[in-house]
Amino acid sequence: MLTTETKSLNELESSSGQKTPTLTDGMHLVVDALKLNGIDTIYGVAGIPITDLTRLAQAEGIRYIGFRHEQNAGNAAAIAGYLTRKPGICLTVSAPGFLNGLVALANATTNGFPMIQISGSSDRAIIDLQQGDYEELDQMNAAKPYTKAAFRVNKPEDIGIGVARAIRAAVSGRPGGVYLDLTAAVLGAVLDADAGKNSLVRVVDPTPRQIPAPESIERALDLLASAQRPLIILGKGAAYAQADADIRSFIEKTGIPYIPMSMAKGLLPDDHPQSAAAARSLVLGQADVVMLIGARLNWLLAHGKPPKWSPTVRLIQVDISPTEMDSNRPIAAPVVADIGSAMSALLSKLKPGQIQPQSAWIKAIGERKQKNVEKMEARLNANPSPMNFSSALRAIRDVLNTRPDIYVVNEGANSLDFTRDIIDMREPRKRLDVGTWGVMGIGMGYAIGAAVTSGKSVVAIEGDSAFGFSGMEIETICRYSLPVVTIVFNNGGIYKGTDINFNGGADPAPTVFVSNARYDRLIEAFGGNGHHVTDQQSLTKALTDALASGKPALINCVIDPKAGTESGHIGNLNVTTKIGPRK
């Protein structure tokens, strides 16, 4: 018996006067399908028509983490996907809840994080005739342009296939965001328990290996062997691949200098002698052969073009996505494969002594590194009052150096740039930041996702503007007692707190916030520990105590409102005009 009647299981069971173990419903099937595929956590916001689904999931042993806004639930799911290589699940209500989650889903797609947004939706017949249903929206079609795949389940017996397709789409090839629409009718539909059970699908090998063509490996090694000034660039795809030992071994065996993109920091420890991060502009400008491993030649790498890059550079790209090749510059040696398979093939074909960077190259990098490190040390050793970004980060660095296991979440403009440069990472996949879009708002979602999946401590280093996008999730962090320490770099605004209103009126300038705001008091409202710090010593103590307690804490870290620069390191991307006092 298959029926799509929307009588609830409870109603049917009580009308028959006894428990009818032969029936199930859409919600039970969704939970069963997720569990069958090893999904153990859902991040979401409850409401019509999914409230009972959240309760049922929790009752059935799936951990449910309830948020205050869907975007943050989505960001938590996305980063959980990045860290675990299993799709992170975000559950949302119809229309507005769905749209709130969609930014996170689009961000997951852009960054290549495996995530599934599951959303309840209203009555198809009413939506399609635009008759004004409660939270009416054609969600699947709205999701399509922003996702790797979008599916809608219209029959309860298709739930198993729908979940299976969503999982495979999220994690295979280049991972990404997938939308799965479950109509209220499907969620409430009752059907025969055996038929339901038989319709479930356990996905076999959802992330199949993609073995490189042997000739692509030879071509790549030959090109590297011909190089005098080779360079490797590691991106977050390399971190995601979890081929840490082989990547390190290839770098060490070939002696090639490397730079990590921001989320690949820690894949090899940042203090590795072959890291050329502190000589970044030199190596990008002068390398004659560059091997990209899980990194795209997008804006973050100046599209691989002069003046930042040599006009004659030849490129090797290791990537799972065949269409990534030649996206910005011709790729002389494409290696289309999953990075794990590619690295082991490269290692097995590498002949001893085959690849030898010029010693002058290594020496030039060493000299530039030393010069830049000395410059940075001088900034770090200053102790101005009020603190600036460097002096605050000096204190934080010294504490975090003792705890390489800690996750660092980071967003803002100056708060982002200074942190990325100053805080060394020593373990893979421990730095989680604004990624490909440079998006604000990932902070508390990523922090929660990392803490929930790992059980480990997280330090979120946040610009005061950046923090505001997800700040209400401080309550979520307190509610679940997560070991998250949020440091708000409070410079009173976007980039800085000193802008003036050229109109001369009473309104503050567009980039300015309430000065001397006490973000620390927000967390106290929910039972967490607030700290207000104005100097290095009290910052060191607050962070040390907060980490030792393992409890939710927020450190309001007062930074000189004059300290930042417009847009941090990417001011060159601004569109500007002349503005002066009104005549």
Binding site for Mg ion (CB under 5 A): 463-465, 491
- Tell me the window of 231-239, 374-382, 384-392, 571-579 that interacts with ligand ADP (CB under 6 A): 231-239
Query: Angle CA(372)–CA(377)–CA(379) in degrees, nearest 5?
Result: 100
Nearer to ligand TZD, 49 or 471 (CB): 471
436 counts as binding ligand ADP under rule CB under 6 A: yes
> Tokens standing for 232?
């490797």
Dihedral in degrees, nearest 10, Cα atoms 307, 310, 313, 316? -60
Q: Which does 441 bind (CB under 5 to 8 A by kind): Mg ion, ligand TZD, ligand ADP, none?
A: ligand TZD
Q: What is the closest distance, in whole angstroms, from the C-beta atom of residue 389 to ligand TZD in the complex?
A: 7
261 counts as binding ligand ADP under rule CB under 6 A: yes
Dihedral in degrees, nearest 10, Cα atoms 153, 156, 158, 160? 110
β-pairing verdict for 23-25 and 289-293:
unpaired
431-433 β-sheet, strand order? 431-433, 407-411, 458-463, 484-490, 553-558, 529-533
Q: What is the closest distance, in whole angstroms, from the C-beta atom of residue 494 to ligand TZD in the complex?
A: 4
Q: Report the distance separating Cα 550 and Cα 524, nearest Å.
A: 16
Query: Which of 294, 443, 497, 528 touches ligand ADP by CB under 6 A?
Result: 294
Q: Which does 111 bind (CB under 5 to 8 A by kind): Mg ion, ligand TZD, ligand ADP, none?
A: ligand ADP
Element (H, E) at 291: strand 289-293
Cβ-proximal residue to ligand TZD, closest one: 463
Q: Are 466 and 494 in contact (CB under 8 A)?
A: no
Nearer to ligand TZD, 342 or 466 (CB): 466
Q: Which does 440 bind (CB under 5 to 8 A by kind): ligand TZD, Mg ion, ligand ADP, none?
A: ligand TZD
Cα first-last separation, the chain? 79
Q: Report the distance separating Cα 458 and Cα 502, nearest Å.
A: 41
Interface residues with ligand TZD (CB under 6 A)?
Answer: 412-415, 438-441, 463-466, 489, 491, 494-495, 564, 568
- Tell me the window of 15-23, 30-38, 296-304, 405-413 that interacts with ligand ADP (CB under 6 A): 296-304
Q: Are 405 and 456 in contact (CB under 8 A)?
A: yes
Query: Which of 184, 220, 295, 331 touches ligand ADP by CB under 6 A?
Result: 295
430 counts as binding ligand ADP under rule CB under 6 A: no
Q: Report the distance separating Cα 341 and Cα 480, nearest Å.
A: 39
Q: Which does 466 bind (CB under 5 to 8 A by kind): ligand ADP, Mg ion, ligand TZD, none?
A: ligand TZD
Amino acid at position 560, single letter: D
Q: Which does 568 bind (CB under 5 to 8 A by kind): ligand TZD, Mg ion, ligand ADP, none?
A: ligand TZD
Residues in the chain: 583
Q: Which does 320 bind (CB under 5 to 8 A by kind): Mg ion, ligand ADP, ligand TZD, none?
A: ligand ADP
Q: Which does 294 bind (CB under 5 to 8 A by kind): Mg ion, ligand ADP, ligand TZD, none?
A: ligand ADP
Rg (CA), the chain: 26
Q: Report the distance separating Cα 415 and Cα 567, nearest Å.
A: 10
Nearer to ligand TZD, 88 or 463 (CB): 463
Nearer to ligand ADP, 11 or 326 (CB): 326
Beta bridge partners of 486: 460, 554
Q: Report the distance separating Cα 93 and Cα 102, nearest Å.
A: 12
Provide the H-helix boundaries in 85-213: 96-111, 124-128, 139-143, 159-171, 184-188, 193-198
Q: Which of residues 110-169 bind ligand ADP (CB under 6 A)?
A: 111-112
Q: What is the closest distance, in whole angstroms, from the C-beta atom of residue 266 to ligand TZD in the complex?
A: 22
Q: Which does 319 bind (CB under 5 to 8 A by kind): Mg ion, ligand ADP, ligand TZD, none?
A: ligand ADP
Q: Report the distance separating Cα 95 and Cα 225, nearest Å.
A: 55
Q: What is the closest distance, in whole angstroms, from the C-beta atom of residue 251 to ligand ADP in the complex?
A: 16
Residue 135: strand, helix, or coil = coil
In three state form, how does the secondary structure of 542-564 look? Answer: HHHHHHHHCCCEEEEEEECCCCC
Residue 459: strand, helix, or coil = strand
Nearer to ligand TZD, 67 or 495 (CB): 495
Q: What is the closest distance, in whole angstroms, from the C-beta atom of residue 314 to ligand ADP in the complex?
A: 19
Q: Which does 300 bind (CB under 5 to 8 A by kind): ligand TZD, ligand ADP, Mg ion, none?
A: ligand ADP
Task: Please report, as ranges, the residues that interact with ligand ADP according to CB under 6 A.
Answer: 111-112, 174, 235-237, 240-241, 261, 263-264, 294-296, 298, 300, 319-321, 324, 338-339, 436
